[in-house]
Amino acid sequence: MEEKVKALQHEVESFLVKSKEDLENFRLKFISKKGQLMSLFDDLKLASVEEKKKLGKTLNDLKQLAENRFKSLQESIENTTSSDRETKDLSLPVVPNKTGNLHPLNLTRYRIIEIFERLGFNVSDGPEIEDDWHNFTALNFPENHPAREMQDTFFVEKPARPEGGNPDVLLRTHTSNVQVRLMKNQKPPIRSIMPGRVYRNEAISARAHCFFHQVEGLYIDKNVGFSDLKQTLYHFAKEMFGKDTKIRLRPSYFPFTEPSAEIDISCLICHGEGCNVCKYSGWVEIAGSGMVHPNVLRNGGIDPEEFTGFAFGMGIERITMLRYSINDLRLFSENDVRFLRQFKSVV
Ligand code: DAH
């Protein structure tokens, strides 16, 4: 019997309790009236007087040990399950599954595409690594003419010039390169917009960056006139910035258009009163434009006697800054979530 008591004592001490079920098994085995410990007390009744003396106290101590252990196990199990309950509070609101927002430049690009698609323009694409011909020469930029310096170019490759050609490879300085590719590949009527990234060797500041985005537009058909250009861009300005927006055309110069004009819209912030966004002029520039130069049509394989066209190019950053009152261009490429989170994911 002594051995039985020792074995049971070992069990009481080492019985593993990790869950409520384990605790209940512990109770059945060592505490309950029908358990092993109580049956030892029954055995003791039948034992000799000496054994009773010797083992009575041991058994009582064991009973005490079992009860103490049961109490402390019960407490610790209850604590862990109640803290479990805290982390699984079913009344808490659902944590939304955040998938992120669209970048503001994309929001603007989608909106621009939407507006022009309704006017019957399709969307075309062209390479960012371009040759001199498509970026400059075909667009009527004369060799060694200062017009090329209007756009600080990143050259990828500047091989020696063979007779009569310029083999330079560069990062396109504007999306106008796609105009040339379109004219080569399609017959008029052409009505297309060409969004994309462009690169210029400029110091990075709040107003300039070494890469940015443009949307080029090209419309070539019979009898396309300057009034078509004006109405198209007027419609665009109203759709993009609101129906009260006015536009103004300022004479300008681009080698690939003649005549050329810069498009201004009435300042959205001060409505013409004058503020620091419009530099107190009441107007902000949003695009360059003009009637496609006959040389450019010819370089694109289109007869300027038969067809005419207009073109325009606008900066997506600039339009986005006006649209959302953003005053620093660098925010677009810094990937700061505090900035990006502010834009919703619908167009
Ligand atoms: N390519 C010009 C630039 O980057 C913008 C431009 C002006 C595009 C007039 C045009 C245009 O198509 O007709 O500054």
| Tens-digit pLDDT profile for residues 305-324 | 999 999 999 999 999 999 99
Does the CB atom of residue 26 touch ligand 1 within 6 A? no
| pLDDT exceeds cutoff 80 at 82 | no
Does the CB atom of residue 318 touch ligand 1 within 6 A? no
Query: In whole angstroms, what is the distance from residue 181 CA to residue 16 CA?
Result: 78
CATH of 104-340, one of 3.30.930.10, 3.40.50.970, 3.20.20.70, 3.40.50.360: 3.30.930.10
pTM over 0.95: no
Considering only CA atoms, which residue is closest to atom 10 of ligand 1?
Answer: 312
Specify the pLDDT at position 165.
77
CB 198 within 8 A of CB 173: yes
Considering only CA atoms, which residue is closest to atom 3 of ligand 1?
Answer: 174
Closest ligand 1 atom to Cα of 216: 12
Query: In whole angstroms, what is the distance from residue 108 CA to residue 260 CA?
Result: 25
Closest ligand 1 atom to Cα of 314: 5
Average pLDDT, the chain: 91
Does the CB atom of residue 313 touch ligand 1 within 6 A? yes
What tokens does 213 get? Answer: 């985005």
Does the CB atom of residue 296 touch ligand 1 within 6 A? no
The b/e string for 206-237 (b: 16+ C-beta within 10 A; e otherwise) is: eeebeebbbbbbbbbeeebeeebbbebbbebb
- 236 pLDDT band, cuts 50/70/90, is very high
Domain residues of the chain, as ranges? 2-86, 104-340
Give CA torsion, residues 71, 73, 74, 79, to 10 deg: 130
| pLDDT exceeds cutoff 80 at 67 | yes
Query: In whole angstroms, what is the distance from residue 113 CA to residue 85 CA?
Result: 52
Nearest to 166 by CA among 130, 127, 133, 128: 133
